[in-house]
Copies of this chain bind each other. A is one copy, B any other.
Amino acid sequence: MTERIREFLRNRREDGPCLVVDLEVVRDNYLTFARALPDTRVFYAVKANPSPEVLSLLAELGSSFDTASVAEIEMVLAAGAGPDRISFGNTIKKERDIARAYALGVRLFAVDCVAEVDKIVRAAPGARVFCRILCDGAGAEWPLSRKFGCEPSLAVSVLEHAHRNGLEAYGVSFHVGSQQGNPEAWDQALTAAAEVFRNCAERGIHLSMVNLGGGFPAKYLKEMPAVEVYGNAIFQALRRHFGNAIPETIIEPGRGMVGDAGVIEAEVVLVSTKSAEETLRWVYLDIGKFGGLAETMDEAIRYPIRTPRDGDAVSDCVIAGPTCDSADVLYEREPYALPVSLAIGDKVLIEGTGAYTTTYSAVAFNGFPPLRAYHI
């Protein structure tokens, strides 16, 4: 929560929840990443928050961009960054989308299988590719499934296939899991990456880049190590596994870049109990899982919530959204302590909501409009 956001909300008049993002915080976060990993190129993960204001600011600061679709590539170009600063980082691409990206000047693509390489050979001849490898994601609050990446042994074949078909086998990528609390998590992945480098070198293919992915945490309720600690741990791991031949590196922060820059203002719509005897309160807000807080799925992300009654005595609450969907419950398994005095009509502030909220929002579920957002 910043003074600028506080000031903005004081003057806000319209109804309904909204997200306010402080661009000064985004700027600080970018500079912190740049300082903590000085030899690493920052590719902002556009999907975290693709607002034109965020993209323009980062383009101006010199950031590069990790994109998931042609629409995101177009947004980055519109924000003033050239195609040389864009990675098409989605491993699942239609061949015609690869061709469109190539036509727009993009030359860097992610792959994790031979079939995806074949599409790039046809639609983006000569481009650079990096192969994503699987990583176990232990220690992450939003752990990754096996959806992206392949086993390191297959990665060698994939990169060799790319090399033999006229692409530049550029490197390896991995992702240690979103909101990763353990700075040492990169070490294990770098062991595997270094092995892919060696196995490729034995086949005469010289990789030059390691994409360290995202995973850098935003500040939610739990304390997390500072970016500098991550930077240092990663550098040490690179030295350990690559010796003096440290490759080019890329990071892809999304949540870590914009998460703590945003605050959602919401309203308490109802406070009730389920029987006369129960003390557990249900607190219903005008925002829920379908209005932008999708990352509360399985109660994965626990946002700090501030109320105008903070300091009063607290008791446990279930927190739920406003839709007629029974799955639209934010915190139930582990109830959330809120002031006993919390009342219908109170405004609450949900902090750390700058990432993965606006675009996750449903089009019009239950007739509720998507999350409004202001980037100041």
Chain A residues in the interface with B (C-beta under 8 A)? 15, 45-47, 50, 67-72, 75, 89-96, 112-116, 119, 134, 142-151, 153-154, 157, 178, 267, 269-276, 282, 284, 286, 290, 294, 297, 318, 320, 322-329, 332, 344-345, 358-370
CB-CB under 8 A for A145 and B327, given A113-B273, A274-B134: yes
In contact, A363 and B363 (Cβ under 8 angstroms)? yes
Given contacts A47-B323, A47-B367, A359-B364, 5 further A-B contacts (CB under 8 A): A90-B323, A115-B271, A115-B272, A145-B329, A290-B360
The answer on a CB contact under 8 Å between A145 and B332 is yes
Question: Which residue from chain B places its CB closest to the CB of A290 in the assembled complex?
Answer: B360
Q: Are B368 and A147 in contact (CB under 8 A)?
A: no
| Complex interface: chain B residues within 8 A of A271 (CB) | 115
Task: Report which of B116, B270, B370 forms a contact with A92, defined as CB distance below 8 A.
Answer: B270
Residue numbers in B under 8 Å from A294 (CB-CB)? 362
| Chain B residues closer than 8 Å to A68, beta-carbon distance | 323-324, 366-367
A91, A93, A269, most chain B CB atoms within 10 A: A269
Give 26 pairs: A residue, B residue, CB < 8 Å, sorted on A. A46-B367, A47-B324, A47-B367, A50-B367, A71-B364, A72-B366, A91-B270, A92-B269, A92-B270, A94-B267, A94-B269, A95-B345, A113-B270, A134-B274, A142-B326, A145-B329, A146-B274, A147-B320, A147-B329, A149-B274, A151-B274, A151-B276, A153-B275, A154-B274, A297-B297, A363-B370
Once the chains are docked, how many angstroms separate the CA of A369 from the CA of B75? 14
Q: How far is the CB of A200 from chain B (nearest CB, A)?
A: 16
A367 touches B72 (CB 8 A): yes
CA distance A112 to B91 in the complex (A): 47
Q: How far is the CB of A92 from chain B (nearest CB, A)?
A: 4
- Does the CB pair B366–A359 fall under 8 Å? yes
* Interface contact A363-B367, CB-CB below 8 Å: no
Chain B residues, CB < 8 A from A114:
272
Q: Which residues of B contact A270 (CB under 8 A)?
A: 91-93, 113, 115-116
Q: Decide: A362 near B363, CB < 8 A? Known: A68-B323, A96-B15.
A: yes
